[in-house]
Structure 1
Amino acid sequence: MLSAAIPNELYLFGCPVYTLLAFIPLYLIFNKIKDFKTAFLAFFLQTLTTHLISSFWLAYFKDYAVFTLGASAFGTACIGGAFGLFFFIPYYTSDCQNKLNEYSIVFSLRRSTIFRILYFTSTYTLYEWVKSAGFLGYPWGTVSSAMYKWPVIMQTASITGVYGVTFMVILFNAIAAQCILLYYGNQQLEKSKYKDTVQIAKCFGVLLLLLLIHGIYQYDKPRKPVKELTAITVQQNSDPWKAESDKNSILTSQKLTQEKINELAMTGRKADLVVWSEGCLSHAFPTSEGYYSWYPTEKPLSQFVKEINVPCIFGGSVIRRTKIAGAETEGEQTVESERERKEYFNSALLYDADGKYRGYYAKNHLVPFAEALPFIEVPVIHAFMEKVVGISAGWTPGDQYVFFNVPCRVTQNYKLPAVKNIDLNKTLSEQKKEENMPATVQISTPICFDDAFTDIMRPLFLNGTELFINITDDSWSLKKSSEIQHFVIASYSAIEYRTTLVRSANAGYSVVVDPSGKVIADLPLFEEDALATDIPVFQRQMTTYARFGNWLAYLCLIIFFLCTIWSYFDFSPYDYIPSERKSKKDKKKKKKNSKNKK
């Protein structure tokens, strides 16, 4: 049911209704489990099947499929199985296996209905955070990715991030499952559980009402841009697996760009920026700047940029050479030496309006086992990867955040700084020249996987991003559901930071999203096309999520640790009796029981 809720080939943008039922069976199962083995297996199967059904398109990642689908499915399932154990920890005590103890007058709080519901909700939310973060993070196949058709609920992300959406959905499932247990249980013995369920259902109702009020307000809130940028995003729909030159991709992109520039000229407008997708240039910079000054011969890239007189962002690669100090042995003497190491970066490249290469942003979060290969520098592993999979090297993750400043237009809502800094060392003519300089917008260009991770997007925003432009290439998947799943995860960034998001993809989904998650303009999937849009740039505002990050996930982590420690203690008075006294009391109980039987 969760796989059906996540964007798929039948429901392209997902079906969130299914999420309201998807976790009821899992909650019911965990109320019946009596050992850790079954707990591990139950959640292992849940996460494995969800991953395989919703992310089957990973199998199309050519030579890497053994890692992208096989390794990711097994890894996700192992994480899920481990959390199955964590789910079961608080319920595993010497007396909790006896169902009669659940109705005793004195019983542990951790066996109460409120605890079960909140612990189940918090632990699953924590699971989604763990599986979506870090080097092995895989943020697809999550509850939040299924909620795109309920944009009012998605507005919660500006406060809690995507994990607030997950928390609310799982909480609803747990309450609904508990109601089923009460309906089919012993009505007289479960009066206390009924009261607890009603209390937590009321709390959920109040919380949901507040979130709906907040969501409706934010979704319909009129926002006035302070700047505008007319951008052309190109979707060339080229085959990423072809080993031939990038000539066709460049010529197609040039044709699509020129068509949109001509269309804008007919309406008296001019483009401020052109964006091509990830990996559209195959030769590494900066050494290839001269190469693209004459290639392709039909219309050299640098010359094309100079002719249209518009800054451009291209997807490409950068090579960086670093010298490493070492030592070599010559006979009986050790001589210091230096060797050169090459590092390759998946990058967004900036060309200015004069056709000059200006700089790059290198992708920070690489796809594990596809772009990033751990220990590839070790000869044995390098030889194995080259022989078995045909991989000889991996990308290097970027080590800095880079912003591109592009000229733009200001609107009537733009306000100049209240205090102006005056440099007495500058002449009057120099000061007037600065005053007449065009306004600029500070752009960050997360590449592909980058836009799904808080540890990338949040620092970019906090350091001054005014506009997110994501370049990506998911065309290798050959499936529409893959493109939409990536888009849905990326669209949360616009809401989390209340910042416009532009996506330029090789085959889709190329789209412009405003700070409330609404689509301003888009292109059809797997078609050659381009989009010319007046992109609104809004005043930066510090959202709760931007300020505190994944605070809800950390809160769930604290709850989990406290419950894990708590599970080693039993809070009934009987469990605090020392071992000797406990054994005597056991004997007295046995005698009383035998007398009662007689």
Structure 2
Amino acid sequence: MNTILQVFFYSIFSSIILSAAIPNEISLFGNPILTLIAFVPLYLAYTKIKTYRHAFFLFFVQTLITHLISSFWLGYFKDFAIFTLGASAIGTACIGGFTGFFLYLPYSTSKSHDKLNNNSFYQKIFETPAFKIIYFSAVYVAYEWVKSSGFLGYPWGTVSSALFRWHVITQLASITGTYGITFIVVMFNAIAAEYFISYFENATACYKKGIHITAKLYLVLIACVIVHGVFQYYLPRHPVKTLNTVLVQQNSDPWKTPTDNESIRVSEKLSNNGIEEFERQNKKAELVVWSEGVLKHSFPSASFHYTIAPSESPLRNFIADKDVPFLIGGVFARKNDPEKTGLPETQYFNAAIMFDKDGEYRGTYNKNHLVPFAEALPFIEIPAVHDFLKKTIGISAGWAPGDQYVFFDVPCSTTKYYMLPAVKNIDLNKKIEEQQIEEIDRPTVKITAPICFDDAFTDIMRPLFLNGAELFVNITDDSWSLMKSSEIQHFVVASYRAIEYRTTLVRCANAGYSVVVTPDGKVIDDLPLFEEVSGTFTVPIYKRVMTTYARFGNWFAYLCVIIVLFHALYTYLTFSEYDYIKSERKSGKKSKKHRKKNQKKEH
């Protein structure tokens, strides 16, 4: 019993250290140093347990506590805390518990060995310290990939989110995504744990030699990561275009206001401040961005409504007067034919709405990845279910997921690094003043507007990049969380998208963290958290490059999954055969004894 309590203390201790490493209220951008010891107790615990039941609960407890501590702010999500915090915690812990089976596999098999397979291939490969270290790291990567993917995906509380401050290391994301970063951190922990075990448990000289070799190879790997990171982080990058952007951070709670009139008035005032600031710099604003969910009336029908509302300064008239395109969070309603489509008569989408410089409604990007059980509910597409939920919970519980990747072409400015000349049809044999020079149309930047949760998922962001996005403009509203750590956790997860695709990321949040991140992960400008403020940003747009991660996606995570599954399958086949041989030998011994008894009876 004491041993069991001890190993579960290891699990709890591991979760507390990891939670302290992830961005939190005390250390807003996280503490990467703590990640270097966070998994040592967990690794040691799996060497001490003796059953798969304990293996399940060990990682179940570790992942449950980590989730509850690092994501406690989910409890503030309106009336859905039981789902956002409770269900996500249990779901994450169940994934963790199942992962625990795989973490324990090398130790359960080694304890069942006897002299029959002392020289087996299994023992020569899978019981070496090198494999145990790599396997432990691969299993944890597989766990993070599973918990961060799909409809129920929750990509917060990950190891990489704690590494934001180590910019040289984070550059690895352009090759492996965040999973390579997780792997090298967990691998460091595994090596440290193996040294600890070898010192206190008097491991054999051969085993210690295996740890030393693995550590040396790890140092080579880290050296390569650092060299790559230094090169990428300090590489001079020259923007080919710029976009003078005003970000509006209204710092209000749209859930508490029955209408959007006050939100619009505040946002208009802040927008005007930003546009005037650009004018003082002898620049022209080229895009104004408001956060998620500002407009409550659904488009396209609301297009007329905003020519008269708010009464003091109607929105569309305000935009036309400023002569600047606006991107604003709102609602899009799509009419369906239930008989033909099987969908509700009206579907509502959480949308990013684009207005041109004349105040005309131009289209929407609809949020693709919805918050499970809060924005998206199972079977909501069935009309009867939708009508019931609309009456009992409200429209906000029935958002439909977007089904298109949408882009907006926004006029922008050129730089000296831009590829095209400013004019065309020039005759070099004539003087300029003797020619009628035709200017080239003003260049545009192709932006896409992932909403809130969208910017955390590869299955959303990668197609957006591959289809030509030059700039990511995320609009979000995390103000409901009431916590700075929530705002920063969302930001650090999103910031990896800039590195993975070497594409500038702009975030406009209701209460923060509103920021511009360049392709090397640098924050070049930001706004303070939980303040009513606007900011003027000359956003750099760079030439598109195809990174390894953009080309192959989560290939590293898939590789780790393959390693885990291959080991599990090989172990199953090996020990199934081993158990069969043992049973044959036992039956052989029994039949031999039986023959001897029969011979004695005959005599």
Could you tell me the TM-score, scaled by structure 2's length?
Answer: 0.88
**Cα distance, 1:585–1:211 mapped onto 2, change above 3 Å:** farther
Tell which deviates more after alignment, 434-443 or 538-547: 434-443
CA deviation after TM superposition for structure 1 residue 227, in Å: 0.4
**1:501-512 counterparts in 2 under 5 A?**
501-512=505-516
Secondary structure, counterpart of 2:337 in structure 1: strand
Contact kept, 8 Å, 1:286 with 1:318, in 2: the verdict is yes
Whole-Å Cα distance in 2 between the matches of residues 391 and 294 of structure 1?
24
CA deviation after TM superposition for structure 1 residue 501, in Å: 0.5
Whole-Å Cα distance in 1 between the matches of residues 364 and 577 of structure 2?
66
Q: Does 1:23 align with 2:33?
A: no
Contact kept, 8 Å, 1:63 with 1:390, in 2: the verdict is no
- 1:119 pairs, out of 128, 135, 148, with 135
Q: Does 1:397 align with 2:411?
A: no
Q: Does 1:359 align with 2:352?
A: no
Give the equivalent residue in structure 1 for 2:5. none
Whole-Å Cα distance in 1 between the matches of residues 503 and 33 of structure 2?
28
CA deviation after TM superposition for structure 1 residue 364, in Å: 0.7
Whole-Å Cα distance in 1 between the matches of residues 265 and 394 of structure 2?
30
Q: Does 1:285 align with 2:299?
A: yes
Q: Does 1:51 align with 2:67?
A: yes
Whole-Å Cα distance in 1 between the matches of residues 196 and 485 of structure 2?
34
CA deviation after TM superposition for structure 1 residue 443, in Å: 0.3
Whole-Å Cα distance in 1 between the matches of residues 312 and 353 of structure 2?
22
Give the equivalent residue in structure 1 for 2:432. none
**Cα distance, 1:308–1:391 mapped onto 2, change above 3 Å:** closer
Whole-Å Cα distance in 2 between the matches of residues 521 and 339 of structure 1?
44
Whole-Å Cα distance in 2 between the matches of residues 586 and 338 of structure 1?
67
**Cα distance, 1:386–1:283 mapped onto 2, change above 3 Å:** closer
**Cα distance, 1:101–1:313 mapped onto 2, change above 3 Å:** farther
Contact kept, 8 Å, 1:240 with 1:476, in 2: the verdict is no
- 2:259 pairs, out of 241, 245, 254, with 245
Secondary structure, counterpart of 1:316 in structure 2: strand
Secondary structure, counterpart of 2:346 in structure 1: strand
Tell which deviates more after alignment, 269-278 or 101-110: 101-110
Whole-Å Cα distance in 1 between the matches of residues 386 and 546 of structure 2?
45
**Cα distance, 1:182–1:301 mapped onto 2, change above 3 Å:** same
- 2:166 pairs, out of 150, 153, 171, with 150
Secondary structure, counterpart of 1:521 in structure 2: strand
CA deviation after TM superposition for structure 1 residue 392, in Å: 7.6
What CA deviation, in whole Å up to 9, does each residue of 1:428-467 have, x standing for no partner?
xxxx999631100000110000000000111000110111
**1:180-579 counterparts in 2 under 5 A?**
180-187=196-203, 190-325=204-339, 341-377=345-381, 393-416=397-420, 436-570=440-574, 577=581, 579=583
Matched pairs, number: 563
Secondary structure, counterpart of 1:118 in structure 2: helix
Whole-Å Cα distance in 1 between the matches of residues 568 and 112 of structure 2?
21
**Cα distance, 1:23–1:434 mapped onto 2, change above 3 Å:** farther
- Equivalent residue letter for 1:146: A
Secondary structure, counterpart of 1:219 in structure 2: helix
Tell which deviates more after alignment, 495-504 or 27-36: 27-36
- Equivalent residue letter for 1:256: L
Give the equivalent residue in structure 2 for 1:130. 146
What CA deviation, in whole Å up to 9, does each residue of 1:230-275 have, x standing for no partner?
0001000011321411111101111011112112212211101000
Give the equivalent residue in structure 2 for 1:64. 80
Name structure 1 gaps, 5 residues minimum: 327-336, 421-431, 589-598
Whole-Å Cα distance in 2 between the matches of residues 498 and 306 of structure 1?
34
Contact kept, 8 Å, 2:389 with 2:398, in 1: the verdict is no
Whole-Å Cα distance in 2 between the matches of residues 325 and 194 of structure 1?
70
Contact kept, 8 Å, 1:234 with 1:256, in 2: the verdict is yes
What CA deviation, in whole Å up to 9, does each residue of 1:357-394 have, x standing for no partner?
01111011111111111123558866886798677841
What CA deviation, in whole Å up to 9, does each residue of 1:45-96 have, x standing for no partner?
0000000000000000120101000000000000100111122234434xx3
**Cα distance, 1:303–1:363 mapped onto 2, change above 3 Å:** same
CA deviation after TM superposition for structure 1 residue 97, in Å: 2.5
Q: Does 1:141 align with 2:175?
A: no
**Cα distance, 1:323–1:434 mapped onto 2, change above 3 Å:** farther
Secondary structure, counterpart of 1:307 in structure 2: helix
**1:37-48 counterparts in 2 under 5 A?**
37-48=53-64
Give the equivalent residue in structure 1 for 2:184. 168
- Equivalent residue letter for 1:218: Q
Contact kept, 8 Å, 1:90 with 1:564, in 2: the verdict is no
Tell which deviates more after alignment, 340-349 or 538-547: 340-349
Name structure 2 gaps, 5 residues minimum: 1-16, 425-435, 593-603
What CA deviation, in whole Å up to 9, does each residue of 1:99-141 have, x standing for no partner?
8879956672322222211111101100000000100000000
Share of identical aligned residues, percent?
58
Contact kept, 8 Å, 2:147 with 2:155, in 1: the verdict is yes
Tell which deviates more after alignment, 398-407 or 571-580: 571-580
- Equivalent residue letter for 2:146: V
- Equivalent residue letter for 1:85: F
Whole-Å Cα distance in 1 between the matches of residues 113 and 504 of structure 2?
54
- Equivalent residue letter for 2:371: V
**Cα distance, 1:580–1:520 mapped onto 2, change above 3 Å:** closer
CA deviation after TM superposition for structure 1 residue 198, in Å: 1.0
Whole-Å Cα distance in 2 between the matches of residues 582 and 90 of structure 1?
26
CA deviation after TM superposition for structure 1 residue 582, in Å: 5.4
Whole-Å Cα distance in 2 between the matches of residues 555 and 77 of structure 1?
23
Contact kept, 8 Å, 2:173 with 2:549, in 1: the verdict is yes
Contact kept, 8 Å, 1:314 with 1:348, in 2: the verdict is yes
Whole-Å Cα distance in 2 between the matches of residues 437 and 523 of structure 1?
33
Contact kept, 8 Å, 1:102 with 1:111, in 2: the verdict is no
CA deviation after TM superposition for structure 1 residue 552, in Å: 0.3
